[in-house]
Amino acid sequence: MKRFNVAELEGHCVDVKGRELPKGRFVSGVSDRMTNSWNPGGRHVQEKWKVMRDAMCSVAKSILGVARGRKTDWFRESGNVLRPLFEERSRTYAQRLSSGKAKDKKKFVKAGSVARKAVRDAKNGWFQRKAMEASARRNGGNVVWKCIKDIQRSRQRHPKEQERAGPYESDYSEG
């Protein structure tokens, strides 16, 4: 089963101009489906659960869509810095393959080294910002727990996830 794009559920249901956002459409869609298909009397718990599951899944599929390849938070936040470095690495790799010269190999090795260092710096900077945010608001339990969840979620990925992609694969594209 594919995951739904639950990132669409963040924020408000309606924007400042009164337009309904995806979160609002999802809530009203589930409400409508549940109202139309819910029969409070005479059903077993399993049947009620199936009605609720079907309503939520069908509305989520139509409104939220399927989630594309998810990048970690630290990677998304530093995309503007990392994207050109990955493009340079891919360009120098193609140049190295086409010419086979030693100087092109050195350029490719240098570009890869710069890209890896930038990835490490971006990741470390993100963790430091999260730690500072958690320590600055140590009395606000919700903020601390949100920071901890963000850190745990980003640690679930392999630390060299971008280095495993081939040079011609888009290192930054979603999906």
Per-domain residue ranges for the chain?
Answer: 6-63, 73-155
CA-angle at 141, arms to 136 and 144, nearest 5°: 55
Render pLDDT for 2-27 as a digit per residue (tens, 0 to 9): 788 777 787 788 888 888 888 888 88
Answer whether 112's CB lies under 8 Å from 125's CB.
Answer: no
Q: How far apart are CA 55 and CA 89, in angstroms?
A: 46
Answer whether 167's CB lies under 8 Å from 93's CB.
Answer: yes
Q: How far apart are CA 162 and CA 175, in angstroms?
A: 13
CA distances from 80 to 6, 90, 154 (A): 24, 16, 19
The closest alpha carbon to 72, from 155, 134, 9, belongs to 155
Could you tell me how far CA 43 lies from the centroid of its own chain? 39
pTM of the model: 0.45
Render pLDDT for 125-168 as a digit per residue (tens, 0 to 9): 888 887 777 776 665 566 666 766 676 666 555 545 444 444 44
